[in-house]
Chains A and B, each alone.
Chain A
């Protein structure tokens, strides 16, 4: 019972739960809320796995290296380029786009859960960097929340209190904007996998 309570103490999981609740309250789709709740659930499941280490389930079952080698090679370029050029023919928030982005997202989160981090174990935390960069992202998040709360309602966008999503709408309404955004998102994911 005591180890179960320890499992529930992970603050990262609760940040994801709160983000998921805000997402749903602000009119987000179930898929967007679900990916955040799934992340929280997997973190808690991971804690359970670690706490059960004494019966041989402490480490994730799969090696990270095969996917890391694949995204570092040129093999990934052709399929990703095709996806980045074909998917933007569809509007954002339509079934084909949601399916492709959601599929990639679920695969990536699952991969992160099923594999062991490759970095040096117990490396010293870059505290100053964590605080400063964390502060920048927190400020952006709080400013976005301020804009969200300034709307007539949480799920009704406003010209007077624009959120980042609202400001990006004209860009994402074009094929080039969608292709660029999808390309950047894919490259960010590739970078996360390579650095893991």
Chain B
């Protein structure tokens, strides 16, 4: 297995875990939804500025 395969497998694994956790958080109360976590972070002054900076960076990184 090449390094490329391992790298791609890692991305796929992390994204899959995220999707499974997303489903779990929508169907149970065990885990907060990712949107609720973001909402809590947005309720803090530092987290709010950091999230908007991260959003702006994502746009500049991939598009700008």
Contact = CB atoms under 8 A, between A and B. Distances in A.
Do A and B truly interact?
Answer: yes
Interface of A: 10, 12-13, 15-16, 19, 23, 28-29, 31-32, 35-36, 38-40, 42-43, 46-47, 50, 92-93, 97-98, 100-102, 104-106, 108-109, 111-113, 117-121, 123, 125-126, 128-130, 132-133, 136, 139-140, 143, 146-147, 150, 159-162, 164-165, 167-168, 172, 178, 181-182, 185, 188-189, 191-192, 195-196
The interface residues of chain B, by DSSP majority, are classed as helix
A100 B63 CA distance: 10
Given A101-B59, A160-B3, A185-B62, 13 more contacts: A32-B64, A35-B56, A39-B56, A106-B56, A109-B53, A119-B40, A123-B40, A126-B32, A136-B14, A150-B3, A185-B55, A188-B58, A192-B38
A125 B40 contact: yes
Contacts of A12: 46-47, 49-50
